[in-house]
């Protein structure tokens, strides 16, 4: 017959006994392990992107190259990078569009209004017009990483935010959390997908597919930790801007000639 006193005694003893060997174990943060493994490499690199909007003509070759390089189904209406067209009329009206993410470039002067409607703006009515390429900002303080419930999306030591397709549960919280709308579900893998600065290329010393594809040099990638990097020099001594800084995400895609109308 087990008495209450005995039961409590034995339980206490059991717990104490179980705690001893457990105390010998140490909880290791996997991030720490990864960081240690990559410490010597990581400390020297922080990838950043520079877009010169004055040089962009909206040909869409970057989008096309990106889709092919990163195996985003060509006809799918999602894309890792895209180009936006902004038209401000003399009447003060703002029109903007990005048909199919500008995969095929802007081949017509008609502005896509959605729902199959288009608006033609005459040249003489245009006050100013320009193109703005967009891609993942590889934020220093990425909200997508913050909200992922399983840690399937994470920031590499060199600043690029990556997605683990084998671990993503597809809840879409990261898609909701991104203020820049760069994330989507991959049509084939069905996991969260985004621009990763062509991580498979840049880690091998190559440029991203979009940088290579741009005939006008509107897109550049660089390492902000290297003071001799031409991109770093421009960011340091020219007037550049970032998108939606009010969200506190510290975006790392810098723009030359950013207009206040850019969304």
Partner 1 sequence: MVHGELWTVKELFVLPNEYIYWSIQIVMYPFMTGLVAGAFVLSSLYHVFGIKELKDMARFALVFSFALLFAAPMPIVLHLQFPFRGINVFMTPHFTSAIAAFGIVFFTYGAIVASELWFLYRKHFVDVSLALREKGDKTLGEWIKYLIFCTLTLGVYDVSGEALHRDEKAIKFLAGLGIPVACFLHGYAGFIFGSVKANALWMTPLMPVIFIMSAIVSGIALCMLTYIVTMEIRRMLAARKRMQPGRRFESMEEIKGVEIHVIKMTAKYLLSFLVAAISLEILDLIFRGYTALKSWDVLRSVIYDRDFYDIFVMQYGIGNLVPLIMFLLPGMTIRRAVLGVMFVLFGVFMMRWNVVIGGQAFSLTFAGFMHYHLPIVPHDWETFKEGLFGALSIFAMPFVMFWVISKIFPIFETKTAH
- Binding residues (CB under 8 A) for partner 1: these are 76-79, 82, 94-98, 100-101, 113-115, 134, 143, 145-152, 167-173, 175-185, 187, 190-191, 247-248, 263
69 or 226, CB closer to partner 1? 69
Cβ 176 to partner 1, closest distance in Å? 5
Residue partners of 48: CB distance under 8 A and separation at least 6: 138, 159, 221, 222, 223, 224, 231, 232, 235, 252, 253, 254
Cβ 107 to partner 1, closest distance in Å? 17
- Show the tokens assigned to 257: 């000639």
82 or 255, CB closer to partner 1? 82
Residue partners of 243: CB distance under 8 A and separation at least 6: 134, 137, 180, 251, 253, 255, 258, 262
10 or 263, CB closer to partner 1? 263
3 or 228, CB closer to partner 1? 3
Cβ 52 to partner 1, closest distance in Å? 21
Residue in the structure block whose two tokens are 């877009």: 51
DSSP per residue, 75-113: TSS--SSEEEEEEEETTS-EEEE-GGGGTT---SSEEEE
99 or 222, CB closer to partner 1? 99
Cβ 83 to partner 1, closest distance in Å? 10
Cβ 150 to partner 1, closest distance in Å? 4
- Show the tokens assigned to 44: 């020297």
Cβ 54 to partner 1, closest distance in Å? 22
153 or 232, CB closer to partner 1? 153
- Judge whether 182 and 80 are in contact, CB under 8 Å: yes
Radius of gyration of the chain (CA): 24
């Amino acid at each position: 017959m087990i008495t209450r006193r005995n039961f409590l005694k034995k339980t206490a003893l059991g717990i104490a006994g179980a705690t001893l060997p457990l105390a010998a174990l140490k909880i290791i943060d996997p991030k720490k392990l990864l960081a240690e493994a990559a410490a010597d490499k990581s400390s020297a690199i922080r990838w950043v992107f520079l877009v010169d909007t004055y040089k962009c003509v909206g040909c869409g070759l970057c989008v096309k190259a990106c889709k092919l390089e990163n195996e985003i189904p060509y006809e799918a209406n999602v894309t890792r990078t895209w180009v936006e067209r902004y038209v401000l009329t003399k009447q003060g009206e703002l029109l903007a569009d990005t048909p199919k993410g500008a995969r095929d470039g802007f081949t017509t002067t008609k502005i896509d209004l959605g729902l199959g409607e288009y608006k033609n703006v005459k040249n003489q009515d245009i006050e100013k017009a320009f193109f703005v390429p967009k891609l993942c900002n590889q934020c220093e303080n990425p909200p997508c990483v913050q909200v992922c419930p399983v840690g399937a999306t994470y920031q590499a030591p060199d600043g690029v935010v990556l997605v683990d397709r084998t671990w993503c549960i597809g809840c879409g919280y990261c898609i909701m959390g991104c203020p820049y709308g760069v994330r989507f579900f991959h049509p084939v893998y069905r996991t969260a997908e985004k621009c990763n600065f062509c991580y498979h290329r840049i880690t091998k010393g190559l440029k991203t597919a979009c940088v290579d594809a741009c005939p006008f040099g509107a897109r550049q990638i660089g390492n902000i930790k290297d003071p001799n990097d031409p991109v770093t020099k421009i960011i340091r001594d020219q007037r550049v801007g970032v998108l939606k800084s009010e969200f506190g995400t510290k975006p790392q895609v810098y723009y030359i000639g950013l207009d206040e109308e850019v969304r």
